[in-house]
Each structure stands twice: as C-alpha cells, then as structure tokens.
Structure 1
Amino acid sequence: MIIYFKKYKKFFILTFIVVTTILLSACGDSSTLLQGAAGQPTETAPAESTTEQPITESATATPFPAASGRIIFVSNRDGQNNLYITSPDGSQVERLTTNIAEDTTPRISPDGTRVAYVSTVNNNTDIYIIDLNTRAITQVTNAPEKDSSPTWSPDGRQLAFESFRDGNFEIYITNVDGSNQYRLTNDPAADTHPVWSPTSNEIAFVSNRFGNADILLANTSGNVFTLTTNPAPDNAPAWSPNGSTIAFQAFSGDLSNLCLIERDGLNLRCATSSPAQYNPPSWSPDGVWIASSGHNSAIHLFNTLDGSTNQLYITGIEPRSTPYFSRDGLRLVFQAQFNGDMELFSVLIPTNEFSQVTSLSGYDGEAIWIDN
C-alpha cells in the first residue's frame, strides 16, 4: 500500500491542484460577496485596522415626524367670529362656517368627524354641529335663552351643555339631532361648564351651590356627587384620557394652582407648587402630562406621575388660553399675543421649536388639533 501511494503521489498532488483551481474559478472573483438567505449579501467582518480612527458625529435630521392632522380654530379675519380649519403649517386654510353669526367654542367629536360649537344668531345663542366631511350643519338647540359649552358623550350620540332656559344655568343633555333634551341638574345655584368623561356616563361640571365655584360630578341619571368644597373657587375641570382623574384650576385670589382629583373624590393634590396666572389645563394623549399657559409668558408642562416640569417659551410670543396637544403628543397648538395680534402657534415639545400657524391681522384663537 505504501508503495502504491508513493508511485502515484505526484499524480494525486497534480489532480488536487487542478480540481481546486476549477472550483475557485466557478465561485467568481474573490471580491464577490457570498449570498445569504433570500439572495441577500451576508455581512463580512471588516478588516482590522492597526490605526485608531477618531470618533466623528455626522449631522442628522430632527428625529421627529412632521406635524399631521388639522387644526380647527375661531377667527374674526372676515369681520366676525367663524370657524376655520387649517393644515398644521397654516398653508391650507378653509372657512367652515359662513353664516352671519358669531361662532365660538369648537369641540371635536370622539371619532373626529364632527364639531359641536356655539353660534349666536339674532341675539340667540344655541348649539350647532358641523360635519367635517359634508360640511352639513345641524342646529341642535333652539331655546329662547342661551345654550352653550357643549361636550360630547364617549359614543358621540349625545351632547351635554349649559342652558339658561329655566332662569338660571343648569346642565342639560340632548341627542345630537336635537331630540330628547332633558335637564340633568336642578339647583337654584348656577351649574356650568360640563365636561363629559371620555370613558363613562359621568359629567364633571362647576357649581356655585356651596357659595362659590366647586367641581361636582353627575351621572346621566341625575345623581350628583361633590368632588371639591374648597373655600376659594375651583374651575375648568378636564378629564384625563382614561377617565380616572380630573385636572382643574384651584383659585387663590386672582391666581390659581393646577390641581388633580380622582373621579371618586380621593387623592386631591396639586401639580403646581404655588398659585400663578395659569390658564385652564389640558391633558396629553397618554395621560401623563397636563399643560397650561399664561404664567411668565410660557407654556408649562407638569408630569402627573413623577412631578417633573417643563417650560416652553420664546421671546416675543405670549401664550394665551389653553394649549391643545396634537394626537401624537409631540406638539401643542395655542393662541398667543404676537406683534399686536392674537395668532396661532405650535411648538414641538422635545425641542422647544415654535412655528407660526396664522399671520393675518385680527383674532385667531380657541384652537384644537384633530387627526384627519
């Protein structure tokens, strides 16, 4: 056997060299990447360099999506207060209501397709609804006295509102077509500013029945529960998105704290440490932050979980009223005093970047951000 191997040793070696050369040629050039699953190139480890390369940082675009949705607001740019709708950058503006009336207080339906609002025609103030798809307008109330402050039920089938039709302000409920209107509260004192829970049949409202303004809660059957009984006025209840907590203004003279209370009346606490000129609060979509404007010409953000705070401001822009979150929670839209006019601005929260939305002379305000 050993003799046989020696005899053919040269033949075996020559054959191995030829076969190996043929196989390497079939694989192509050595620079070709090997193909992995689904024909995709497999990664090869880079050659190890003996020279240490410095770490450099390349410029990248802002890692936040462009503003989406639309903004509904009130403007008197055409001589009276009407509803308008615009793209977030203000480039596409459309007038929604065109009647000879004063239209205010837009409130978006839960599904984002309709807007309830208050309109004063011939000195009579009532509730109307406009369909954003068809632009059809429905008059919901027609009482001889003032009906205002509409708020949507979670299923979008009903509205609660305040009405003076019985000689003092009370809370009423109606179907969105105006049928089946009934009085929810019944007290000699004024009951106003209803806000329907986003998740239940409960309505928070403001009442003077204890001598000054307090926050109360009523279900749609008319059962009323007291949430606050502070010696100073409480105002502007705002539900958290999950319906568990109510934020509100707790006044001390002309100034207010921003406070929180659970829907069962427990765990009363304040997000602010001292009273200031805070406007009514609004909630972020995730229910973590509340926002307010006014104090120190800034927008103030308060984390309701860990107590952290943030301020958004820029010189020359003075925010007014309640800022309203975009649905992704990244931005706020708000009205601000700017160069002698009330204009709309938005701010990208993580970067404090302000953008002007409207720029015509006159009043632009009461902005709300919608999805579509």
Structure 2
Amino acid sequence: MFTKKIWVLLGLTVQSLSAQTIAPRFLSHPVLSPDAQTVVFSFEGDLWKAATNDLQATRLTAMQGYETTPRISPDGKWLAFTGEQMGNTDIYIMPLSGGEVKQLTFHSASDVVANFSWDSQTIYFTSNRYGPASAYTVGINGGTPKRLFADHYFLMDHLIAEHPKSGDIYFNDTWESNNQVARKRYKGPFNPDIQSYNLKTKAYQKHTDWVGKDFATTIDQQGAVYFISDEANGEYNLYTFNNGKKTALTQFNSSIKTPLVSANGAYVVFEKDYQLWWYNVATKKANPLNIQLYRNQILPAQKEYDVRGKIGAMDLSPD
C-alpha cells in the first residue's frame, strides 16, 4: 500500500511538471543573436529567450504592458525592445544576458524599435511624433532622438535597416507596409517597394518594382538583403537579391511575417502560422523552431463587480 501511494504521488508530480511545459502558439517578433545561437521572441506580452540548440525558453522581462519587437545588437551585447511600461510605447534596452532595463525614449507618441546600427551604438525606431510614421535614431545610452531623414522628404519612412558596407538606409514608406500589413495581394499606387537612401552621398535607389508588396528588409553583415514579397502566389514569402535579381527563397501557401537574418548570415527567423520558423541559408530549407516554455501556471484572482444601475443591454442564451 505504501509503495502504491509513492507511485501515485510521483505520477501526480510528473504530470504537474509536464503541464507547465507547453508547445505554444502566438509567438511573435523573433530575433537571432549574431551567431544564431540564441533566439529572443515575444509571448503573452513578455520577452523570452532560448538557445537554438535546445529551444527551452525562459522569461526575460515581466514589465507592465507588452514588450515586443526585440532587436539584438550586432556585437551581441544589447537587447533593445518596445515596451508599454508607461502606457504608450517607448524604446527600452537591457543586456542580452539579462540585467537592468533602461528606458531610452519618453515621448507621448508611439515609438517602435526597428533595428540597430552596425556599430551597435544607435537604435533606429519608428515614431508617429511627426506625422503617421517617421524614422528616428537614439543612442544606446539615451539622449535626444533625431529624425533620420530630417533634411529629406520621405512619407511614412519605416522598417529601417542599415547596410553594413555601403551605409545605405533601406526602408519602406507607405501604409501598406506599416498599418496595413495584414492586407495581402494589394496592388495599387501605395504598394511598398524596397528602397534605400544614403545620407552621406544622397544617393537614392529603388530596388523592386513589383505592383504588389515588397517590404521588411533585413540585412546580414556581408550585405545580403532579405525581404518579404507576395509576388509568386499572393502570400508573403521570403525573398533575396541574387546578382541584383529578385529571387524567391520560400514557396509557402501561408504567409510569413517579421523576418530577421542573423548577423552572420546563417539563418533567417520569422513568424508563420502563429509559430516561429527559421530558414537555413546554406541548405535553403525552412523548419519550425519548436520552442518549449517553462512557466508558473497562475490563476487570476476572482473579482466582484457591482453593476446595479449600469447595465445598458442584455440578452438571454437559448436555454
């Protein structure tokens, strides 16, 4: 009898522990460390971190509001992200290894992280403090943000990526790649194209001319450019430039989102079907990242509400 009780207790313990390990959906905004050995992503409003060789994730942040759009500096030291600690979205930074979180922007507008500069000293971000969307920079130690294209006119410049060799700033500038990303198969005068501008030489270049949607540029340390396009089948897939020619790398029947290449150019990570995937540049194959989460299961406390005199509408169920 005593032995049976031990086995029952052990079984319940194992079941309880396994219940805390889940293969989750609705993971978003993945980013890889420069060596592609670590992935950081957003889940349930917090940032999580996992080694790509075992994919067992641990929580990095637990701030008020949502933490999204993480970006890892090219030197692998810093993690910048968008947070809602004060109600609106601002730019925050912390060591990738964990540690103190520092707020970098304090404007009442919405500030959203876009990318790091290649020297790891500057963060590019998008803000609606000057019109619907404009690109800005802020140093990793804070300071007054500066408008990126202050002396030039680009409408709604966002999705900023810096080229490591030329210094060109890649961007998109229509609402179809900003607040209408979910609208696939759009063809019209506001279709987003991959564009770049060099702040020093003043050279502008338009890299794509598809009548649909090309957007979300990400660039590795050798200058290889990756982006999203819906040209092949109306779904967002991963593309690159091969000797200047636009080339499809994936042929999914469901769209990808938020691609980011590791600095070493080995992998491109992205969202697909509410999960994380990555594309192996060498093998040209894409596979899911089967993240495992370990967390405490928390039951919300019950709350009582007095609704007397406050009911504006009601209905009864069929039974």
Q: CA RMSD in A?
A: 3.6
What displacement does 1:175 show? 1.6
Per-residue deviation, residues 234-268 of structure 1 (Å, max 9, x unmatched): 1121113301x311112247413432237xxx622
Ranges in structure 1 where 5+ consecutive residues have no aligned partner: 1-66, 313-318, 320-333, 335-344, 346-355, 363-372
Three-state SS of the structure 2 residue aligned to 1:124 is coil
Matched, 1:226 2:192: no
SS at structure 1 position matched to 2:229:
strand
Match status 1:277 vs 2:243: no
Q: How many residues align?
A: 243
TM-score in terms of structure 1 length: 0.55
Q: How has the CA–CA distance of structure 1 residues 121 and 303 changed in structure 2, closer, same or farther, with 3 Å as cutoff?
A: closer
Residue 214 of structure 1 is matched in structure 2 by: 193
Give the conservation status (yes or no) of the 8 Å contact 1:168–1:188.
no
Deviation at 1:227, TM superposition (A): 1.8
Residues 276-317 of structure 1 deviation map (CA, whole Å, 9 limit, x = unaligned): 43414444665466566648x99574758xxx74354xxxxx
* 2:192 partner letter: A
- Distance in 2 (CA, whole Å) between partners of 1:68 and 1:269 is 25
TM-score for the superposition, normalised by structure 2: 0.63
The answer for the alignment partner of 2:222 in structure 1 is 242
8 Å CA contact 1:212, 1:231 repeated in 2? yes
> Is 1:109 the counterpart of 2:73 in the alignment?
yes
| Residue number among 350, 357, 363 corresponding to 2:292 in the alignment | 357
Distance in 2, matches of 1:145 and 1:298, equals: 30
- CA deviations over 1:220-241 (Å, ceiling 9, x no partner): 4493432223211111211133
Partner of 1:156 in structure 2?
A: 120
8 Å CA contact retained: 1:205, 1:237? yes
Q: Residues 260, 140 of structure 1: CA spacing in aligned structure 2 closer, same or farther, 3 A cutoff?
A: same
Change (3 A) 1:142 1:218: farther
Alignment correspondent of 2:101: 137
Q: Do the aligned partners of 2:269 and 2:276 also contact (CA within 8 Å) in 1?
A: no
Q: 1:19 matched to which residue of 2?
A: none
- Decide which moves more: 247-256 or 107-116: 247-256
Distance in 2 of aligned mates of 1:260 and 1:168 = 29
1:259–1:311 Cα change, 3 Å: closer
Structure 1 residue 213: Cα displacement? 1.0
CA shift digits 1:20-66 (9 cap, x unpaired)? xxxxxxxxxxxxxxxxxxxxxxxxxxxxxxxxxxxxxxxxxxxxxxx
Judge conservation of contact 2:90–2:104 (CA < 8 Å) in 1: yes
* Equivalent position of 1:258 in the other structure: 238
- Contact 2:48–2:57 (CA under 8 A) maintained in structure 1: no
Mapping of 1:25-174 within 5 angstroms? Answer: 70-76=38-44, 81-87=45-51, 89=54, 93=58, 95-132=59-96, 135-174=99-138
Distance in 2 between the 1:275 and 1:97 partners?
33
| Greater relative CO (CA pairs within 8 A, separation 6+) | 2
- Aligned partners of 1:286, 1:99: CA distance in 2, in Å? 31
> Considering only CA atoms, is the larger Rg found in Structure 1 or Structure 2?
1
**Secondary structure of the structure 1 residue equivalent to 2:84:** strand
Match of 1:144, SS state, is: coil
Unaligned runs of 5+ residues in structure 2 are: 1-34, 176-188, 298-319
Following superposition, the deviation at residue 70 of structure 1 comes to 4.4
Contact between 1:153 and 1:201, CA under 8 Å: does it hold in 2? Answer: no
- The runs of at least 4 aligned residues of structure 1 exceeding 6 Å deviation read none
Q: Percent identity?
A: 23
Whether the 8 Å contact between 2:113 and 2:123 is mirrored in structure 1 is no
**For residues 311 and 112 of structure 1, do their structure 2 counterparts lie closer, same or farther at Cα, with a shift above 3 Å needed?**
closer
